[in-house]
Chains A and B, each alone.
Chain A
Amino acid sequence: MEQLAADVHLFSLDKYGESAAVHKKVLIVDDSPAEVKLIQGLLEREGYWPVGLNDPKRVEEAIAHEHPSVILLDIVMPGRNGYQVCRDLKGNAEFNSIPVIMVTTKDSVSDKFWGQQQGADGYVTKPFTREELIRAVRRFA
């Protein structure tokens, strides 16, 4: 299959040990139901257990309920953007150990830098290929 130019950035890995591999639940936070459904389809084929969430205001509630191993987080969302969500999660002792991968159309160097500044552990730019997404998720779960 033809490849997109790889645009996947993984900022950190060391702090997540083998424990992340125990659960393979992935929380997908994106305001677009079509995007959530697509990512769910791609992850299910790889044996993951994807859980979709369209409302970014309910991320903490969803994490407390689902205990995901990794979070795929869109940035451009109404009400609460991905940067805010990531900053809040990384500032919360209860959730800050869960890896967060930004999955977004925002592709500039400054966007990626800002994502990293908010504590994101990875960055996947839309449009992505299946391989790119799976490779990013596999690093953490």
Chain B
Amino acid sequence: MRHANVIILTDETEFARLLTAGWQAERQAPRVTVLTSDLWPEQEAPARDLVVVGPVREGGLTSVLRALDPLTAVILCVPADSKELGQLRAKYPRLIHVPLREDWAQTLLLVAGESLRRTEAVRLARQAERAAAKNENHATLGRYMLDMKHSVNNALTSMLGNAELLLLEPGQLSSQSLAQIKTIHSMALRINEVMQRFSSLASEMLEAENTSQAETEGATAQASQRH
């Protein structure tokens, strides 16, 4: 799994310290950025997979969440009796609330781990969807090329065969006609060679693509196992 980016947004230093220490004890720690609500950018927030919002100054939660993309995963860790919590939950359905009580750090780390895994799974699913769409395009092109190859080879059979039939009785043809039929025959053979080269190229491309796909799948499987 790639390194996830987590922002801890709080005005309480101890909250950020405990959470960061908890993550450092984990097998795989995300990249953590700690910000206070004063530093929270109104326009351009740093790249993140998860935002953990801890205790902030009175009335600060609403302005912080307003600046976030509604699709961003957010874990809110504030007391269950926070005044703003009820309103925020109605407005941000994806908001996860971890009550700020004695065991909050362990609970938050567990929830955050699951949230990051979900984000990673969604990312991989989108990647797979893009790859599937690309493969589908290749498959359509391949089917079209096969169809064309069939038609071209049928036409070539007729050209070559009929030219050969005419060349079997050269006495009935003028020298000019004979030369022209020989040219037609020779050119048809050349087209056939080109078609065979295309077939070889298509096979090589398919082989290279399969190898590349196997490597990608292997890397993804290894990343999942590490996780």
- Interface residues of A, Cβ cutoff 8 Å to B: 1-2, 4-5, 32, 34-35, 38-39, 41-42, 45, 76, 105-107, 126-130
Partner of A2, one of B161, B168, B189, B199: B189
Within 8 A of A (CB), among B170-219: 185-186, 188-189, 192, 196, 199
Interface residues on B, range: 20 to 34
Within 8 A of A (CB), among B143-181: 149-150, 153-154, 156-162, 164-165, 167-168
Partner of A5, one of B149, B154, B159, B196: B196
Given A105-B153, A126-B153: A45 touches B185 (CB 8 Å cut-off): no
How many Å from the CB of A83 to the closest CB on chain B?
A: 15
Check if B164 sits within 8 Å of A130, measured CB to CB.
yes
Check if B161 sits within 8 Å of A42, measured CB to CB.
yes
* A4 to B163 Cα, complex, angstroms: 14
How many Å from the CB of B63 to the closest CB on chain A?
A: 65
Partner of B188, one of A5, A105, A107, A127: A127
Check if A127 sits within 8 Å of B164, measured CB to CB.
no
Interface of B is mostly: helix
Partner of A1, one of B157, B164, B199: B164
* A89 to B114 Cα, complex, angstroms: 61
Within 8 A of A (CB), among B1-16: none
Number of A-B pairs whose CB atoms are under 8 Å?
59
Residues of B within 8 A of A107 (CB): 153, 199
Residues of B within 8 A of A45 (CB): 165, 168
Check if B165 sits within 8 Å of A126, measured CB to CB.
no
* A39 to B186 Cα, complex, angstroms: 20
Check if B192 sits within 8 Å of A127, measured CB to CB.
yes
How many Å from the CB of A104 to the closest CB on chain B?
A: 9
Partner of B165, one of A34, A42, A106, A127: A42
Given A1-B167, A5-B196: A130 touches B161 (CB 8 Å cut-off): yes
Residues of A within 8 A of B160 (CB): 4, 127-129
* A2 to B165 Cα, complex, angstroms: 14
Check if A129 sits within 8 Å of B164, measured CB to CB.
yes
Residues of B within 8 A of A32 (CB): 154
Residues of B within 8 A of A41 (CB): 161-162, 165
Given contacts A4-B189, A42-B164, A130-B168, 6 further A-B contacts (CB under 8 A): A1-B185, A38-B158, A38-B161, A42-B161, A105-B154, A126-B154
Residues of A within 8 A of B159 (CB): 127
Residues of A within 8 A of B157 (CB): 35, 38, 105, 126-128
Check if B153 sits within 8 Å of A127, measured CB to CB.
yes
Check if B156 sits within 8 Å of A127, measured CB to CB.
yes
Within 8 A of A (CB), among B109-162: 149-150, 153-154, 156-162
